[in-house]
Structure 1
Amino acid sequence: MIDQQTRQRILDSAQILDVVSDFISLRRQGVSYVGLCPFHSDRNPSFYVNPAKNICKCFSCGEGGTPLNFIMKHEQLSYTEALKYLAKKYNIEVVEREETEEEKQRNNERESLFVVNDFAAKFFQKQLTDTEEGRSVGIAYFRERGIRPETIEKFGLGYSPESKTAFTQAALQAGYPMRRLSEVGLTIEYEDRPGVGIDRFRGRVIFPVRNLSGRYVAFGGRVMTKSAKTAKYVNSPESLIYSKSRELYGLYWAKSAIAKKGMCYLVEGYTDVLSMHQAGIENVVSSSGTALTLDQIRLIRRFTSSITVLYDGDAAGIKAALRGIDLLLEEGFRIKVVLLPEGEDPDSFARSHSSSELEEYLKTHETDFIHFKIELYQEEMERDPLRRAELISDIMRSIALIPDSIQRAVLIQSSSATLRMGEHLLQEEVNKLRRRGVSAQGFVAPQRSYEPNEHAPHPTPSIPPQIEEVPDKAEALSDEAYGSLVAREDSIEPFERELMQLLLLYSDRQIIIPMGMATPEYEGEKFPNEDSYFTLHSFIERELMLVGAEAMYSPLFGRFMQELSSMTEGEEGTTVSHFANHPEDHLRKVTTDLVSESELLEYRPDQDLLPSYLTTASATASAAPSEEEAREEEERKEARYLGSVALRACNSYKMALLVRLIQDIHTEIKQAQRSGDHATILERMAEINRLNAEKRRLSDLLGERTIVG
């Protein structure tokens, strides 16, 4: 693990103009540089590099970030790999943290297994190209399937001899212990004869499986004989370095193309991937004949949220694979489906058509998954009315999995006519499923939502005093649940974005607030005549704490505030760097977006956003101020300006909070009216009156501010 000091040195050394210029041509435009975006098909330069802020941003596709972000995205590297890339570029020695004995042992074991697999990959490749058996059996098979020599080399295809122990003996002679050969499944060790075993992949052509960073983690082998007793395909078993549910065949070769095209094709087998690559379509991966898993889906999400599934004409096979598609829907993917002609699969279809014909077919025959599913079930629904009801419920279940409410509404509307069902009835069914906690795996107990567009009850505090204490959501959520929540763009509410932007840019800056404008700590507190001085971070934290706003934070904002508070005080200028280079994708992306928009917050000497009755006019000076006095006055104006921006942002947050609380109390009143609970009605009406009074006070303050144009 790279130690913190080395990591910071790398981040401080990396300059965005220097890094981006290695890959794209830039020309100067004002204080920035502009060029063609490397992340989408850009005809007009839309990729801007800002050396002063040390960030880049495409204003067409939205990609960008710090030098670290750029390298991760462009070179498809992990966080640590990108740090090492930049360290090499700037000649920085990477010092890694001392590992524990347990970590050393586990990493040594993992590395030993990778070394064994590297040896095996080279052995199989050599057997294919350099032996008579490999050429006559393996090369002949690949030639028959239309796999060209350059594809064989690119994907490292190989051959395992028919001899039962050819590989095992070669590995033992090279010094690899039987225990390691057995652990990765290359050799099957006899239970009654320890240290003796036979080759798992004997007599098969080999398809090496590489992980995202390109290391060999497993192998797939197709048998060359036609024996009924032998499985057609054999794959490596689970091991310390391989989990089938966490790997996708072809992703190592496809990741750059997927990121650039903005979408991914999903096929079933090894040869499907190979043939499509040969046809010029490289953004393709295979699930290796199994239904998609959540881990595989999240691998794809690192590069795109759009996926097109290619199916052959086998209806039974398609229906068996639908569960994996439901998982994609639940994860927020945009899913298209292409049905190939009967008797064709991606391998055969790619081999029998030119590259342009294949691309044209895929483009013109793709359809939305929900409507594809309706068409798939159409014949069954026509035959049996009761089965029709079941299938419509199943289709609505798929729609209910989609997290975006607008997408759900559009699909319900368009499905209504095809299914010949009332739109309101379908909407009710989807709403019922979501209330029950529908998931791709079945039903789960509904969890309280923290998304702004949901209407779950919230705590009903008064403002002031403080909201009742509830657990911190960022701590309560597991890493997996947290990751799934923050992956969506709408998980940060607009008023939280404004506060985050201020805190990123000016966290440690001094601001001036007339104390009368801050939330009073006690009922009836009088506004003092003099201004009060805060750091921006402490002021915002105080304002939100006094109204109990922590209970309402979205998961991402809660995580941000928690981490910001834990940072060392006085780390001047490091807040942006810390979050823009954060190991978590969502925090990096949000930081880049907010910093890119920061021109709207830059200080203008002629602006003052405080209400007019609290502004203080400068006394007429009898003499021109000294240079030091002028500098101090300018600093005071800037501190006052930032204070007014912070105050406005906090009040906007409080106003949104009040509106939400009042809506929730109205819901409680309606429930009390239905049950005849008059005491609750009177109590909650009094609460609404008090909150409305606070709302009017905030409206007056917000209504008088000057908007920066």
Structure 2
Amino acid sequence: MISKTTIDNVFETARVEEVIGDFVQLKKSGSNYKGLSPFTDERSPSFMVSPVKQIWKDFSSGKGGNVVAFLMEHEHFTYPEAIKYLAKKYAIEIEETQQTSEEKEQANERESLYLVSEFAKNYFHNTLLKTEEGKAIGLSYFKERGFTDETIKKFELGYSPDSWDAFTAHAIKKGYKLEFLEKTGLSIVKDEKQFDRFKGRVMFPILSMSGRTLGFGGRILTSDKKAAKYLNSPESDIYHKSKVLYGIFQAKQSIAKEDNCYLVEGYTDVIQFHQTGIHNVVSSSGTALTAEQIRLINRLTKNITVLFDGDAAGLRASLRGIDLILEQAMNVKICTFPEGEDPDSFARKNSLEELTIYLEENAKDFVTFKASLLANEAKNDPIKKSETIHDMVNSIAKIPDVIKREVYIKECSRIMDISEQVLFNTLAQLLQKDKKEAKKAETPKETFEVIPSEKNIEKVDVQFELEQKIIQLLLLYGNVAEDFEELILEANEKGEISLKPEIHKSRVYEKIYLDLQEDEIEFTNAAFKNVYSEIINRLNQDPEAKPETFINQLPAEMASTVSHLLMEEEKYSLHNWERMEIYVKEKEQTIAQVVSETILNLRRHLVSQKINELSERFKTTENEENSQGLQEIVDYLTLKKVLSEKLNRVL
């Protein structure tokens, strides 16, 4: 159990914009930051972070909360894991009591897989550095590749002993269950016997963006032709190779800073680039590039430079991944190395300055690169040239941005020596075909005429909206002192009711609380009712309290509700109104007016409900009771009229 002192210290120190900035590329937007949602596939920013309120909101998925909630949603951390991650990031010492064996038993299966993987990473790393076999075989190999001690430590490289069950036996001895060793793929169970999957291999731990161990890549060091040169962990609940990039944890900050990501094929390519001094590099770990992997990069930058070996046999096949990158509205360049070289060998032979200059001078735009590559293949063959042009236009059709498409068509026309008009016509045909296929996929086989009825029309829940507005006002301005116009009901000599205004200074939360108490108004929404009580209690204890100071102490469900309410109005700033010369009046300028108006609207709504209730009752009452009931309705109608007149004046 982590102590409350540690948790409070973490919340006081952690900055939501810094933590989320490790996972999402954020750009300043007024007093907030915005970026692409890390939870959905989108091209326009709908993800917003508020440094002032220390919360975030994803308007595309509806998720939101504080810094811990983000880590729990994005990295699937438990609450304690999120606190530990933040403590490590900000160098905060963790105070905690020892877990009992019973508490360890209660850890869920997914967490058990993470624990086993973390244990394995440490075991392989220690075996590499501290055992005779590890140093003689594994460490020697890495040294031959030119890796320094610092690099080996940074990437936590390891070695799995050349023994059938050395790791498995050690893990079981340490209390880790065979069930989870098998589910992570670290151990193979067959005929009631267990074996180490990575026997006799050097180990490359594969980490998530937050640094959690997901799986491993293992390279064999013998010349056994029957065994695969590289072996990856099998798919599991925590490791999905199509959604992971090797080196993303070490590269994420550099990718965001440089606003570019180098994409290579192998583990050693990544490591050698890092050691040379280029850190914004990741690898697809030898698998075909996937849309999920591209989206992972897209959170950090819009620019990718794909690096290919000089003699890559499958270069044309590899170009298919370029179309996937284009579909994600990203900018892509391609760079190849001299024949016989790959990123690993080339980085080893050149200094940082030489490598940087080479990448800058040889990285070509995808159209230029693809056109030159395919044109060389086609040469003087008209049929092949025609196929090449179709291939080029097909790639350009993947680009969502209309202006970029036109620029690339012009460039393709110049390189391939063909008229722009022909290319534009071909592009239009492809886009029309894609549109028809998409529409066909969406159209149901059978259609029915739907006649709208009153039952199908969703009505606005006025009370819900007003209760939500009151909570928003308490959260945003609860401790603000304002001059409020109090309305006192009066009757003149003729018995006519009117509202007499009197000015009183009070805090927003006092005004709302006293007005609702006076009218004996209770919230009908259970979530709002709980949040309202929590806010009022905390502001009564500390009138200077700010929402960000107590949101961290709320239960997860309540904290999510509060975050949603705090950030709901921020979504309008995503539209850049100022750019269109539309200037929105700041809410702070009219706090007292908005508070008074909201309470008046709630009163008016409740009076309307009462009138409807009395009217229904009036229809079923006996004649002698009608007179009394009618008078009550008239009184409420008079009150409603007075409230309406006051609202009109305010508006």
TM-score by structure 2 length? 0.59
**What's the CA shift for 1:242?**
1.0
RMSD value, Cα: 5.3
The one-letter code sitting in structure 2 at the alignment partner of 1:384 is D
Distance verdict in 2 for CA 1:108–1:326, change over 3 Å: same
> Structure 2 residue aligned with 1:335, among 316, 332, 337?
332
Hey, what does 2:182 align to over in structure 1? 182
The one-letter code sitting in structure 2 at the alignment partner of 1:345 is D
Question: Which runs of structure 2 are paired with 1:524-535 in the superposition (5 Å)?
Answer: none
List per-residue Cα deviations over 1:394-446 (Å, max 9, x = no partner): 1111000000111001100111011111111111111111111189xxx7556
**What's the CA shift for 1:342?**
1.3
Query: C-alpha distance in 2, partners of 1:326/1:421?
Result: 22
Q: Secondary structure at 1:275's aligned position in 2?
A: helix
Hey, what does 2:357 align to over in structure 1? 360
**Is 2:320 the partner of 1:323?**
yes
Query: C-alpha distance in 2, partners of 1:132/1:40?
Result: 43
The one-letter code sitting in structure 1 at the alignment partner of 2:139 is I
> Structure 1 residue aligned with 2:583, among 600, 612, 624?
600
Query: C-alpha distance in 1, partners of 2:526/2:440?
Result: 32
Q: Secondary structure at 1:316's aligned position in 2?
A: coil
Query: C-alpha distance in 2, partners of 1:228/1:150?
Result: 33
The answer to whether the 8 Å contact 1:437/1:446 transfers is: no
Query: C-alpha distance in 1, partners of 2:329/2:473?
Result: 31
Hey, what does 2:55 align to over in structure 1? 68
Q: Secondary structure at 1:255's aligned position in 2?
A: helix
Size of the alignment, in residue pairs? 462
Query: C-alpha distance in 1, partners of 2:222/2:575?
Result: 60
Question: Which runs of structure 2 are paired with 1:224-243 in the superposition (5 Å)?
Answer: 224-243=221-240
- Structure 2 unaligned blocks of 5 or more: 1-6, 36-44, 58-64, 93-103, 444-451, 459-471, 478-524, 536-545, 548-558, 598-651
Q: Secondary structure at 1:338's aligned position in 2?
A: strand
**Is 2:392 the partner of 1:395?**
yes
Query: C-alpha distance in 1, partners of 2:338/2:283?
Result: 20
The one-letter code sitting in structure 2 at the alignment partner of 1:284 is V
Hey, what does 2:173 align to over in structure 1? 173
Query: C-alpha distance in 2, partners of 1:220/1:316?
Result: 23
The answer to whether the 8 Å contact 2:133/2:161 transfers is: yes
Question: Which runs of structure 2 are paired with 1:594-633 in the superposition (5 Å)?
Answer: 600-602=583-585
Hey, what does 2:412 align to over in structure 1? 415
Distance verdict in 2 for CA 1:23–1:247, change over 3 Å: closer
Q: Secondary structure at 1:146's aligned position in 2?
A: coil
The one-letter code sitting in structure 2 at the alignment partner of 1:164 is W
List per-residue Cα deviations over 1:467-525 (Å, max 9, x = no partner): x99999xxxxxxxxxxxxxxxxxxxxxxxxxxxxxxx999x99xxxxxxxxxxxxxxxx
Hey, what does 1:164 align to over in structure 2? 164
Hey, what does 1:278 align to over in structure 2? 275
The one-letter code sitting in structure 1 at the alignment partner of 2:585 is E
Question: Which runs of structure 2 are paired with 1:253-272 in the superposition (5 Å)?
Answer: 253-272=250-269
Bigger Rg over Cα: 2
The answer to whether the 8 Å contact 1:397/1:433 transfers is: yes
**What's the CA shift for 1:294?**
1.5
Distance verdict in 2 for CA 1:412–1:234, change over 3 Å: same
**Is 2:189 the partner of 1:202?**
no
**What's the CA shift for 1:592?**
5.3
**What's the CA shift for 1:314?**
2.5
Query: C-alpha distance in 1, partners of 2:328/2:373?
Result: 23
**What's the CA shift for 1:213?**
2.1
Distance verdict in 2 for CA 1:589–1:260, change over 3 Å: farther
Q: Secondary structure at 1:188's aligned position in 2?
A: strand
> Structure 1 residue aligned with 2:429, among 412, 429, 432?
432
The one-letter code sitting in structure 2 at the alignment partner of 1:147 is F
The one-letter code sitting in structure 2 at the alignment partner of 1:208 is P
The answer to whether the 8 Å contact 1:74/1:256 transfers is: no
**What's the CA shift for 1:635?**
5.3
TM-score by structure 1 length? 0.55
The one-letter code sitting in structure 2 at the alignment partner of 1:416 is S
Q: Secondary structure at 2:55's aligned position in 1?
A: helix
**Is 2:146 the partner of 1:141?**
no
The one-letter code sitting in structure 2 at the alignment partner of 1:171 is A
Hey, what does 1:644 align to over in structure 2? none
Distance verdict in 2 for CA 1:592–1:600, change over 3 Å: closer
Query: C-alpha distance in 2, partners of 1:220/1:39?
Result: 23
Distance verdict in 2 for CA 1:262–1:333, change over 3 Å: same
Distance verdict in 2 for CA 1:381–1:105, change over 3 Å: farther
The answer to whether the 8 Å contact 2:247/2:270 transfers is: yes
> Structure 2 residue aligned with 1:311, among 296, 308, 316?
308
Distance verdict in 2 for CA 1:14–1:154, change over 3 Å: closer
Query: C-alpha distance in 1, partners of 2:410/2:422?
Result: 11
- Structure 1 unaligned blocks of 5 or more: 1-8, 25-36, 92-103, 450-465, 473-503, 510-564, 608-630, 640-709
Distance verdict in 2 for CA 1:315–1:226, change over 3 Å: closer
List per-residue Cα deviations over 1:135-189 (Å, max 9, x = no partner): 1111111011011111111111000111122112212222223222221111222
The one-letter code sitting in structure 2 at the alignment partner of 1:234 is L
Distance verdict in 2 for CA 1:161–1:241, change over 3 Å: same
Query: C-alpha distance in 2, partners of 1:285/1:434?
Result: 33
Q: Secondary structure at 1:313's aligned position in 2?
A: coil
Query: C-alpha distance in 2, partners of 1:580/1:337?
Result: 46
Give the number of the structure with larger relative contact order, counting CA–CA contacts within 8 Å between residues 6 or more apart. 2
Hey, what does 1:293 align to over in structure 2? 290
**What's the CA shift for 1:379?**
1.3
Query: C-alpha distance in 1, partners of 2:337/2:435?
Result: 31
The answer to whether the 8 Å contact 1:159/1:206 transfers is: yes
